[in-house]
Structure 1
Amino acid sequence: MLRSGGADLTIAGGIREFGRATPGIVAVRDGDRSLTFAALDERSSRLASALLQQGLATGDRVALLCGNRLEYPEIAAGVAKAGLVLVPVNPRLTAPEVDFILRHSGACVLITDDALAGSVPHFPGPVICIGGSSLGPSYETWLATAPATDPWVAVDERDPFCITYTAGTTGDPKGVLISHRSRCLTFYATALEWGLGPGRRTIAVAPMYHGAGFAFAYAAVYCGATVSMLRSFDPQGLLDLIQRERAQSVFLVPTHAQLIRAAVEKVPELPSLDTLYFNAAALPKVLKEWVFEAFPGAGVHELYGSTEAGVVTNLRPPDARRKAGTVGHPWFATQVRIVGPGGQPVAAGEPGELFSRSPYLMNGYHDNPTATAACITGDGFLTSGDIVIADDEGFISIVDRVKDVIITGGVNVYPRDVEEVLLTHGAVAEAAVVGEPDDRWGERVVAYLVCRQPVEAAVLDAHLRARLAGYKVPKEFKVIAALPRNAAGKVLKRELRSTP
């Protein structure tokens, strides 16, 4: 069988293709700066050449420390053109946290926003600075001296294009190895499902250093659409950008919707916007109803997945209201398995742990075979770590994280059941329910709340007891200014458990 390395899927492919097919179309906007597909193709080739001039070999790692900005897509494409592996780094991390990722990944070169120089630890390799030269040569000067010739380094599509680090629920973060094939198929499926293709426009709202933020922003340029960068989230700023850029498909997390709801009295008409898709956590039913009312012209999708698994399910607009509270059916080319504690499939309506198998799965955890083996079955299914229920039509509802289930007096309490009811009270803006140690019950149910107005614990208690079994009602209500969240917008319940 004939096989050519150039025929393999690579995340540089779309940039090469549209650099020829639609060279004059704008690929990326960032404020008053923009890049056409021809310029994106050329600049990414210069970057690939510049990296190879550093003596890097296929598979070597290049770390990138910056937020959403014009340069992000060209750096990702250039690293891929050179046959290297990207290591995205969260710009909000401290120097010791950045140091761990650089060392653990084995990064040979660091490209950083010069404004983040204070977060860069001592790094033995070359440091290239975007927007300055505090720690090394200026990015623009460095690019200008490199040839604009695409090196066309062959890569196997199943090799990693990046190592992206999880937030680390316990101990150090783990590096997730994501292949070219996995992400390219995700890009194409994203174009099919949420309309990111030639002639379409979107906004990079979620941070691109995170798996979903990168996938849904980069999918635009990979598939011939235009992406506009939102440097930092601001509710009115996002709405203004959607109007100005006439964006059609936009990816958000539930926290974004919550912040828009709190900050904007009325969402303006957005005639261009036809698709909203949400990820990171299930949209509470109350918030989802607000989204329907605030964005009446947009079809609302609710998807579920993880950095390790990619997209697993999607709830599409025709069922968005009828099946609110679920995350839909398995996505394209995805199989799911829901099993009980003994590993046997559970019946419809029964809770079980969700496993999935698809072409989007990670290759494993970098330099951590033990952790990789612990989450993948012998036949290639990856655990989600979530407890779910599938109804008699196959729609999947996320009940809770396995580790977040509260066992109080020997009875299981699923925090999301309690959170959904708390959010039906007008005073409660956000809610997170956790289990905390209790000498009598083993664990007691505790609710952490962000409130719109003062409310007595007794009032909340009565509201819940009218709607939930008594053992599910929190023993304590704690009002805090904001729920701790990671880059994907997921609530960090481990931090709440340690709150005094």
Structure 2
Amino acid sequence: MEDLPEHLRSAARQRPTARSMVSGLRSWARAAPGRTAVVDGDGRLTFAALHSRSNRLAGRLLAAGLRPGDRVAVLLGNRLEHPEVAAALGKAGLPMVPIGVRQTVPEIEFVLAHSGARALVVRHDRAEELAPVAPDVLLRVGGPGPGLDYEDLLAGGRDVDPEVPVTGDDTFCVQYTSGTTGRPKGALLGQAGRTLTAELAAHEWGLGDGRVSVAVAPMSHGAGFMFGYAPVLTGGTVVMLPSWDPDRLLDLASRERAQSVFLVPTHAQAVRDLGADALRGRDLTALDTLYFNASALPVPLKEWVLETFPGCGVHELYGSTEGGVVTNLRPPDARRRAGSVGRAWYRTRLRIVRDDGTRAAPGEPGELFSSSPFLMKGYLDDAEASAACRTADGFLSVGDVATIDDEGYVRIVDRKKDVIISGGLNVYPREVEEAALAHPDVAECAVVGLPDPHWGEVVTAYVVPRPGRAPLGAGELTAFLRESLSGYKLPRQVRTVPALPRNSAGKVLRRELREPSAPPP
């Protein structure tokens, strides 16, 4: 506990019932009722209005027959209503089941059925197609369509906080994993872990009292929600970016005087592709904190970020749906430790384990395990998978291969399932991708292993060219990589694609690149 900021130590010592994912909102609605909590275009909500509207929604949901513990699916995207819906569910003791706006009807139907959701709060433009698979309570937000109208429902509600009691062990959210390797699983995330994460995130990345941040990543994703909702709990202002648009992000950051922005590497790439004039045309002098997740920043891209935003502290964090925030590389180490995702975050212990279960030596690759208050409780209705990712003493792994050096700095080598075995030798795709991204004509690169009768698997690189650059030939890229990689790591196939397949969290869907329908050489 001693590594926590001083002002959060007392909160961490309190009983789990003392704080929840709505206690901060209640406090700020009293302390600063007129302060702006949420901005979405021309729409603004004060802390008082957010508290009142979430009270009304919580009461109406309970009046509709839902009981504490019933799950409610939410498909809204980044918009004004998202924080108040989350707060209402927290006040009513109804676990939230986030759903991405880009998910297909079959994907959504699976989540609704698997979670047993008893209600769906949905953006109006998805309501009609989802009505046939929706639970009995369908709440429509933002326009006409089937189901109950959101604003009409709130208008008929009473401004009374139901104050349903919750404990730290109660589930706040059933967060479905991104499903990059198969069917998503529902991670059960508890009140205590989520609340502590929000408070520490606000401290670490400047999201709290009087600060302005932009919700860029989808709030249906674990990190996107946490960093978009933490300001509501800690007295900050969150500005909604409805969908990814680098120009609009810069406009919002300039107009609202944003100080903190959370991005993934592909976002940084898109901002860089706008060109220097786009940045010079905006006043970004208030911006002082940039923090990145989803994958480590490629070193050339990170150098561009550091040079382009010299007044910003640049963080790189590593985490997962199941493990929460695990590490953070803070600004003083940004250049000195480029390529690392930092050291263990607050109250987190790490270990690297070999395949035989023994502890790896410093610098030796192995499976990364973490123990912290931020871990999930388990997977919904999947005891086998829950047990498989944990050790007997409570450490959890999501299958990432990493190294830890003598000073405790972590480097993510790759996903354990993504390691390519070619001719009996291990090839880590991230190492090849990093090397390829140093080529001036390469914007993005993903490396996978494809079946081969002789080698077992052959290293195959999917390359997105930089705007205005010609596609790279296999020989040209191989010649470039030969200077930094051993021969067995070199791609035997290079495939040029306009974009890499990604999920809503920005992670590359490698399974799609391995499928027979992927672009041929």
TM range (shorter): over 0.9
Q: Is the 8 A contact 1:94 1:119 kept in 2?
A: no
Partners of 1:349 and 1:171 in 2: CA distance: 31
Q: Could you give the per-residue CA deviations for residues 457-497 of structure 1, whole angstroms, max 9, x where no partner exists? A: 21111111122111110001000010011111111111111
SS of the equivalent of 2:107 reads helix
Partners of 1:96 and 1:411 in 2: CA distance: 39
Partners of 2:427 and 2:352 in 1: CA distance: 19
Change (3 A) 1:249 1:225: same
Matched, 1:475 2:492: yes
Q: Is the 8 A contact 1:30 1:228 kept in 2?
A: yes
Q: Is the 8 A contact 1:280 1:489 kept in 2?
A: yes
* Equivalent of 2:234 in 211, 217, 223: 223
The code of the aligned residue for 1:113 comes to: R
* Equivalent of 2:258 in 242, 247, 250: 247
Partners of 2:425 and 2:254 in 1: CA distance: 50
* Equivalent of 1:238 in 223, 246, 249: 249
Q: Is the 8 A contact 2:214 2:241 kept in 1?
A: yes
SS of the equivalent of 1:288 reads helix
Q: Could you give the per-residue CA deviations for residues 377-404 of structure 1, whole angstroms, max 9, x where no partner exists? A: 1111001311111122221100000011
Runs ≥4 in structure 1, deviation > 3 angstroms? 3-7
Q: Which residue does 1:459 correspond to in 2?
A: 476
TM-score normalised by L of structure 1: 0.97
Q: Is the 8 A contact 1:166 1:175 kept in 2?
A: yes
Q: Which residue does 1:214 correspond to in 2?
A: 225
Matched, 1:51 2:68: no
Q: Which residue does 1:34 correspond to in 2?
A: 44
SS of the equivalent of 1:382 reads coil
TM-score normalised by L of structure 2: 0.94
Q: Is the 8 A contact 2:473 2:494 kept in 1?
A: no
SS of the equivalent of 2:148 reads coil
Partners of 2:296 and 2:15 in 1: CA distance: 40
Matched, 1:270 2:284: yes
SS of the equivalent of 2:335 reads coil
What runs of 5+ residues in structure 2 fail to find an aligned partner? 1-12
Q: Is the 8 A contact 2:355 2:366 kept in 1?
A: yes
Q: Which residue does 1:391 correspond to in 2?
A: 405
* Deviation of 1:7 (Å): 4.2
Change (3 A) 1:352 1:262: same
Partners of 2:143 and 2:438 in 1: CA distance: 49
Q: Which residue does 1:437 correspond to in 2?
A: 451
Partners of 1:432 and 1:15 in 2: CA distance: 42
* Deviation of 1:264 (Å): 3.1
Change (3 A) 1:6 1:52: farther
Matched, 1:67 2:74: no
1:77-476, aligned counterparts within 5 Å? 77-120=87-130, 121-266=132-277, 267-268=279-280, 269-452=283-466, 453-454=469-470, 455-476=472-493
Q: Is the 8 A contact 1:235 1:264 kept in 2?
A: no
* Deviation of 1:119 (Å): 3.9
SS of the equivalent of 1:321 reads coil
Q: Is the 8 A contact 1:350 1:390 kept in 2?
A: yes
RMSD (Å) for aligned C-alpha atoms: 1.4
SS of the equivalent of 1:383 reads coil
Partners of 1:173 and 1:440 in 2: CA distance: 33
Q: Is the 8 A contact 1:429 1:451 kept in 2?
A: yes
The code of the aligned residue for 1:30 comes to: D
Q: What percent of counterpart residues are identical?
A: 58
Q: Is the 8 A contact 1:388 1:396 kept in 2?
A: yes
Change (3 A) 1:195 1:400: same
Partners of 1:392 and 1:119 in 2: CA distance: 54
Q: Is the 8 A contact 1:356 1:381 kept in 2?
A: yes
Q: Could you give the per-residue CA deviations for residues 424-446 of structure 1, whole angstroms, max 9, x where no partner exists? A: 11111101111111111111100
SS of the equivalent of 1:87 reads strand
Aligned residue pairs: how many? 498
Q: Which residue does 1:22 correspond to in 2?
A: 32
Partners of 2:16 and 2:309 in 1: CA distance: 43
The code of the aligned residue for 1:258 comes to: Q
The code of the aligned residue for 1:175 comes to: G
* Equivalent of 1:494 in 489, 508, 511: 511
Q: Is the 8 A contact 1:127 1:136 kept in 2?
A: yes
Change (3 A) 1:466 1:7: closer
Q: Could you give the per-residue CA deviations for residues 281-336 of structure 1, whole angstroms, max 9, x where no partner exists? A: 01000000010111111000000000100000000000000000000000000001
* Deviation of 1:14 (Å): 1.1
Deviates more, 1:177-186 or 1:451-460: 451-460
